[in-house]
Structure 1
Amino acid sequence: MGLLDGKVVLITGAGRGVGRGHALLCAAQGARVVVNDPGASVSGGGIDQAPADEVVEVIRQRSGEAIADYNDISSWDGSSRAIQAAISAFGDLHGLVNNAGVIRPTNIADATEEDFDSVVRVHLKGTFCCTRHACNYWRSRFEAGERRQRSIVNTVSDAMIFALTDPAYGAAKAGIAQLTLSNSHDAAPYLVRVNATAPRAATRMSMASPMMKYSDDAKIVEAENFDATSPANPANSSPLVAWLLSDEAAHVSGQVFRTLAGAFARCEPWRADDLQWPSGGRMAFTPEEIGPAMNKGVFRSTFMPGQLDFAPGDPRGLTT
């Protein structure tokens, strides 16, 4: 018995890297898997059906069920066709893993419009489009009287947590985190959960990023052939993803998790400190009041008129 017995799961960007690890583990846990991947390069160009076909073959050799899908999920119609491929092949869809992505590392002064558009289109728009079409289908099933748990797991990144370089990538991943929170509220009435994970692994994309350091002889190794004891294994985050897709996680939604090797931690969304109000019941500070209020109420710093040469409170140390 597996955690995902009887479920149909669509995984985008599942031909290589982290998505490939997800696909293999979900199939091992009993899911029928749709391996979506058009086989593009890390920067988004080209088409190659071989990676998706390879994953399907590995799953079938291990007695699992899977089909390949080559649709471009960054387009409205392509993402719709990917959702329909799962339903047509297996009769339903229970889980969606939005994992597809590209990377075009560049700093803000050198970035081009195409760099930005390409990265945001695949990561953020692709996640939105697949989620929209899946939720539209799931809502219709709910309205028809079907009461079954559904789950979406989005893919975010440490790049949004630590504000690393590559602004388009970081911004797209932060946008996906916000989509996760918003969509978890929208989809809850028809029993859909939405969560996200931020994996870190040695993949084609990470090796193309200047944020990651590798030895000169480092090679790309796919999940099924990777050292299972390595912290860089692309499949290290897959157990968490499989669990989030399962009915065991029926109480978990609107959460973002960071993973490192096999460890995981919940990430807090944006949180605001206590509001700083002007004195006297006023609605606005004067510009001159902002500095003292900011230093005292936000930064918790108070500047005294002079210098302390001795212990605080000793008047001998206060000079002006």
Structure 2
Amino acid sequence: MAKVGRIKLGSQGLEVSQQGLGCMGMSAFYGPPKADEDMIKLIHHAIDTGVTFLDTSDIYGPHTNEILLSKALKGDQIREKVELATKFGINMVDGNREIRGDPAYVRSACEASLKRLDIDCIDLYYQHRIDTRVPIELTIGELKKLVEEGKIKYIGLSEASSSTIRRAHAVHPITAIQLEWSLWTRDVEEDIIPTCRELGIGIVAYSPLGRGFFSSGPKIVDSFDPQDFRKYLPRFEGENLEHNKKMFDRVNEIATRKGCTPGQLALAWVHHQGNDVCPIPGTTKIANFNENIGALSVKLTREEMTELEEIVSADAVKGERYASVMANVSWKNSETPPLSA
């Protein structure tokens, strides 16, 4: 199995494994929750392999994914071996999601996550989605107090605009930005990635496998559970899927030539974006986890990177990231649809 190295995430001192583990799908959004004992085995396997950067959120479940992580981190000084990231900012009210970034909510959400995780300090605490009703300076100001109190070590933002990142960073250094970045989601390269690099902020790429598309190809839709929200994503529907299949076939051709899987190739492409980038592919199976780790052994030349990027150019992917129904009125106070990751 490939050796998992370490990288510095941002310029504030946080060091993480060069590949992380997204834990969302263990408890939410991708079908029914998986058995705790199986997921704990997977998490322990990841840590033993050197993947120590674990990603969760209070909305995953909601709450149940944090509780799962608390169980997995019990005993044998496991907690000291990991870098644990969680998030706040998406609140459930009467079955509807609302975005909140007001200071009182920031503090109460942090206290609740600490209790569920059964820890004294969160390594990396993200604002999951940006509340446009609350000046980001107020939100970060409260997070800064939580840092000073020792309840969190580092501050992150998820799905934030470039201007929001700059304003937040002026209040307290932002360690990491979490965003969707993969072969079929590349709009962040225009503005947000350069902003992060200018400010010395680390980049955490969620859904680096295109929500499983580059692992399984178009046939993935046949295995979607009725509770899997990907069933409603435009990229997995009808003509869009047929179009995207052609793109997958070309990526698969390169993977075959390289002697790796298309998923490993797609993940390797993200790894090759720089040593300030940590992808956090999620999985619920040890075999898939091992395949993802294999991406670290896939070396791409500049020519191969260019070839891949030509295949997945801006107009090559059909379908929006989220369905229009996911941007309804209850989510209007967010910079982006507050669904998953």
- Asked if TM exceeds 0.5, the reply is no
Structure ranking higher on relative contact order (CA contacts 8 Å, 6+ apart) = 2
**Normalised TM-score (structure 1):** 0.34
| Structure exhibiting the larger radius of gyration computed from Cα positions | 1
**Normalised TM-score (structure 2):** 0.33
